[in-house]
A and B are shown apart, each in its own frame.
Chain A
Amino acid sequence: MSNRRGPIMSPGIARLLVIIALFAFWEIGARYDADPLFLCPPSQAIGALPHIFSDPKIVNAIRVTIYEVVTAFVISVSFGMIVGLIVGLHGFTKASILPVILLLYATPQATILPLFVLSFGIGPAAKIAFGISHGIFPVIVTTVAGVQNLRPTLLTAARSMGASRIQIFTSIVFPHMIPSFFTGMRLGMTAVLLGVLLAELYVSTAGIGFYTRLFAESFSPPDLFALIAVLAAIAVTLNELCRTAERRFSRWHAS
């Protein structure tokens, strides 16, 4: 534990170099050794981006997907929080209903995807519904957990000072729950993304599922890579927004 010299470069820069190296490896390997029907170098994928963005139908499909994610997310979070509060605030409801919710949470949702499409059709409704079906559970579970952590002594102290039920809720319960609310939001976003994307990819007659199937069946890797890269970027951005919100709003909480 004495005066050892630190590593030569910061981990952040090293990481960047690793990523660059991987892309370089991909680029060179794809140029010289790959069947162009299946694999293309990243430069070609990037080159296909303008093609993607110039086709209004593809852009629309992407826009619809974003709309589906945001809608499913908002509904999941609002309904999830309400259900979570109702279930979590009373010991009885928690003990009886939470196991049912956890049971539903554990079902393999991919198997009921065809059911959603049969019921809601191939439009955005099915995808939003499937997204909600994925996203609502982590929100409920984290909300319940957040309510759980509330120490009964805080409530007793407030009541002893004469606080009404509403005051207790707004000044103790609600602020206490904010960190777990934001955690639930982050997990909910990840889950909604999974649900919506799964549904979109399943419905291959419209939306981005149509284009992924089209590009795969016509063996155009640059278009496929480009489309997936765009979707991945959108997903990462949404996830990051939620993660940053979680960090910012949990900073005051001495977890």
Chain B
Amino acid sequence: MNLLDVKNLHLNFNTEHQQTLSALRNVSFHLNMGETLGIVGESGSGKSLTNLAIMGLLPDNAKVMADQLTFEGRDLLSMNEAQKNQIRGKKISMIFQDPMSSLHPYLTIETQLTETMLAHLDISAKDASLHAIELLEKVGIKDPLKKLKTYPFELSGGMAQRVMIAMAISTQPKLLIADEPTTALDVTIQKQILDLLKELQIKNNMALMLVSHDLGLIAEYSERIQVMYAGEIVEARSKQDMLNKALHPYTEGLLKSRPTLYSDKSKAELYSISGIVPTLSNRPQGCQFAPRCHLKKDHCEKTSFAQTMHNKLSREQDIDKIAGHVFCLERTLRNEV
């Protein structure tokens, strides 16, 4: 049993015009204590929706279905709000992109830090404040006693994010989901925050889900990487394997189109993936990436990968292994996989 098990997660939205929009399809992955799973995706990939589905924070018109969505063996889908509240914030924590808008502007840091603790732990207000000071020290904030009484607007972006992290780990969660934690921060602060997350993960043996659009960032801090495109996982492998040879043309495109310090406009233009990500209401048939793919063949736009693979593979274990992973059909057929 894994800490977090997701099998064939589907997410649909019911819109006003009786339309059903498919936001996530066949998303499957697992996570264990001490592991860092990096999820890479651009806008429209569904990476944030996956996080919200796990946390149970989706809007009312969202319909979630999955073969399995369990945390510590308990089914997250069948829980009611009270049960979910037991887990949210206590065992599974999440930090978001812009710390300045995630912190309450009118409450002091102390109030916000102790709020989570008082809600989930059996602890007195005084002890909670003491613990808050410890937490601020742990996340590298100097002068924690003074900072307790300050308001969010008095903090810089980096410090505010550290406070968010302190809040998130205050209940010693088993799983921490970090959704674009450093996108709004300066580059030197980014490194500090990510190093801090890694350090805390090792100390507390937490599971960490690091979500970002920046493949370089994910590659540096994760052991396993999962690439999402248009609501599906298109590739999920260990970091080494993926960087050595990307299997899905989208991953390959992402890796190639990112400039490095060695890029130079006078030497070569940047590799770019043509076209744009399909919108929720305009999902193509067959392979989602086909319209932009340089390997595209006729069958890519007609059949779905899962179907073809089901026909190709006979063994249960193999089907299980590729369940929820949409590899490139063309490459699979060419036996390049």
B is bound to A: no
- Seen from chain B, the residues whose Cβ lies within 8 Å of a Cβ on chain A are none
A residues contacting B by CB (< 8 A) are none
